[in-house]
Amino acid sequence: ASTFKPEQARVPPALQLPSPPITKFKIGLCQLSVTADKERNIAHARAAIEEAAEKGAKLVVLPEIWNSPYSNDSFPIYAEDIDAGPDASPSTAMLSEAARLLKITIVGGSIPEHSGDKLYNTCCVFDADGKLKAKHRKIHLFDIDIPGKITFKESQTLTAGETPTVVDTEVGRIGIGICYDIRFQELAMLYAARGAHLICYPGAFNMTTGPLHWELLQRARAVDNQLYVATCAPARDVDGGYVAWGHSTLIGPFGEVLATTEHDEAIIISEIDYSQIELRRTNLPLEKQRRGDLYQLVDVQR
């Protein structure tokens, strides 16, 4: 095994998993119905966040595109300038205030963001003081064409993000991906190499790929990297232009489904126990068994 050079399998070498501020806590996944009424969507999301916090959640996750219908026509209309402050971004202003008042960490799903002349699909993370800790712009755009099933091209309106996002929070080190980002295992491997305890993927898989791939991809990302994976989707609207699969889920570091739901509105409360990461990595010491003599994952930005 000494000839495998596992430390060379990740370049730069993987960071040691940091000691989280808290080892065990409750997470809330808010599977929300989304309408064309933006003010209603914001108020509805706030009520769900408050309910999750009342049930003990220290981390609350929202769905992808929760303040707007999911369509290329809607993105420019509902987009907000997050960097311009609360008046220009009522959605993130609500998230900041809710996080501060409830003393929780919020992974704010995603909303359409306009910055200059570009539009992004953006997830904001707020700490328990209401401070914006990170902003992840969807890296891999959802451009798909399955004849007779579904055609959607986010690139018609959206610009791809350029930066992987790992953020230290009161509930551990979290990697952020948005929906289609989950299909690219290299991103999850990069997050694991940067010491993430948990990867959150707000997402809205559709009725074609959802039944086949949604849970499969979550479990694969978790078991390959021996960490927690949390996903949060919108509730299904069969009359909407884009019909989401739903099934928000929490996966453990052994690939086990810890909590999930169907397609209706729901608030899932489940427990994360980071000691399970160390246990699984001790039982299955993948990091020590990687073949750095044969392959490498290169973290370009690090």
Q: Which residues are annotated as catalytic?
A: 64, 138, 179
Q: How confident is the model at residue 273 (pLDDT cuts 50, 70, 90)?
A: very high
Examine the pLDDT at 1 and tell me if it is beyond 80. no
What's the confidence (pLDDT) of residue 3? 81
pLDDT in tens, 74-109: 999 999 999 999 999 999 999 999 999 999 999 999
* DSSP for residue 19: P
Residue whose C-alpha is closest to residue 132's, from 162, 97, 171, 88:
97
| Domain 21-283: homologous superfamily in CATH | Carbon-nitrogen hydrolase (3.60.110.10)
Query: DSSP label at 21?
Result: S
Q: Residue 135's closest CA among 116, 115, 150, 155?
A: 115
Q: What span, in angstroms and rounded, lies between the C-alpha atoms of 38 and 172?
A: 31
Q: Answer whether 228's CB lies under 8 Å from 222's CB.
A: yes
Is residue 2 pLDDT above 80, yes or no?
Answer: no
Token pair, residue 202, equals 């707000």
Torsion angle, alpha carbons of 188, 298, 16, 184, to 10: 0
pLDDT tens-digit map of 7-56: 999 999 999 999 999 999 999 999 999 999 999 999 999 999 999 999 99
Average the pLDDT over 152-163 and give the result: 97
Token pair of 157 as six digits: 């309106």
pLDDT of 229 reads 99
- Unique residue bearing structure tokens 């990697």: 175
State the pLDDT at residue 181: 98
CA atoms within 13 A on the CB side of 250: 20
Mean pLDDT of 206-228: 97
Q: Which residue has the tokens 């169907």?
A: 262
3-class DSSP assignment, residue 20 = coil
Q: What span, in angstroms and rounded, lies between the C-alpha atoms of 202 and 49?
A: 15
Opening angle at CA 188, ends 132 and 259, nearest 5: 80
